[in-house]
Amino acid sequence: MTLPRSSLRFRHLIIRTAEQLGCAYYGDDNEGIAQLPVNAHDLDRCKRIVNDAYAGFASSIVDPITGKVHIWSFTRQHYELTFRTTAVEGVNTELETHRYIMPWYFSGEVYRDWAYASDQSTSAYVRVVSVARIEEMWTGQSGTTGTPSYCGFRALPMESNEAASGRRFEAVFYPAPSQALTLNITLRATPEALWDLDDIHFAGRDHDETVRRACIAQAELDQLGMEGDLTRAYYKKLHDSIELDLRVSAPRSLGFNLDRANYDDDLTTPPYKGTVDSYNGSALSGP
């Protein structure tokens, strides 16, 4: 996944938080520049506070001034998937070619249907529906292959989760792919917790100051057990970040706006132009 770059690393946020808490290290003579806490307890406390603040900032939030819910544009990520006609360990759930493990940062939410790459042999879309509907389609139809036209997303059991950031999801398609087509989708990503001291936060350089203030405000809350002046200052900066995000993510034109309004059927769904070439494992004869 390509993420916006930032100049702020985990270590910088920890140091700024430690300064607020009064546990930063300033050298043996206490006259040097602020450094990471040397006490293990203090360092762990600062790391926890930074990640709590970071998680709160990066989630879908309510603008503290307007009261409107905002979803950050930097969480909209492009993802590409290529079908496998032979199952691959670590790619296909339980080695089934119609089930694909989604990346660790996938939140379970998507912004549109899957679209096949422009250079593929099909112009079909893959409509996103409920997993219950996918399971209904597969009932009594094991072995059905062709050009997938439907997909549902399902959370994997926790024991299958190998990412420290949270539960993984799988994409379940119908029918199973009969060729290695490539398709893409726009999904909502969630950031992984900061672990390594050189980790860079998810939001990008434009929001460095807001993330820094979020950490300071969280430290204030940890100290006082209530919101104070630093939290109120953070809310003002958070509003500014949201306004900036709205400006930079605004459409450049008022043309086709991805709301499916251009499709001519009553289900507002792209016309299916794929094929099914086998059913229950038996090949279907052509026209």
What is the C-alpha separation between 46 and 207, in angstroms, rounded? Answer: 20
Residue 23: predicted pLDDT = 97
Residue 96: predicted pLDDT = 95
What is the C-alpha separation between 32 and 36, in angstroms, rounded? Answer: 12
- Whether the CB-CB separation of 210 and 231 falls below 8 Å is answered with no
Torsion over CA: 8, 17, 199, 185 (sign): negative
**3-class SS of residue 240:** helix
- Whether the CB-CB separation of 109 and 171 falls below 8 Å is answered with no
What is the C-alpha separation between 29 and 97, in angstroms, rounded? Answer: 63
Phi, psi for 35 (deg, rounded to 5): -130, 175
Q: Which structure tokens are listed for 75?
A: 């969480």
Neighbours of 21 (CB within 10 A): 17
Q: Which residues contact 235 (CB under 8 A, 6 or more apart)?
A: 64, 65
What is the C-alpha separation between 241 and 235, in angstroms, rounded? Answer: 10
Calculate helix-pair angle for 208-224, 40-58, nearest 10 degrees: 120
Task: List the pLDDT tens digit at each of the 287 positions of the chain.
Answer: 444 456 789 999 999 999 999 999 999 998 899 999 999 999 999 999 999 999 999 887 899 999 999 999 999 999 999 999 999 999 999 999 999 999 989 999 999 999 999 887 777 799 999 999 999 999 977 778 999 999 999 999 876 445 444 679 999 999 999 999 999 999 999 888 899 999 999 888 999 999 999 999 999 999 999 999 999 999 999 999 999 999 988 765 555 555 444 443 333 444 344 445 554 455 555 44
Residues in the chain: 287
Beta bridge partners of 176: 145
Neighbours of 276 (CB within 10 A): 16
- Whether the CB-CB separation of 25 and 34 falls below 8 Å is answered with yes
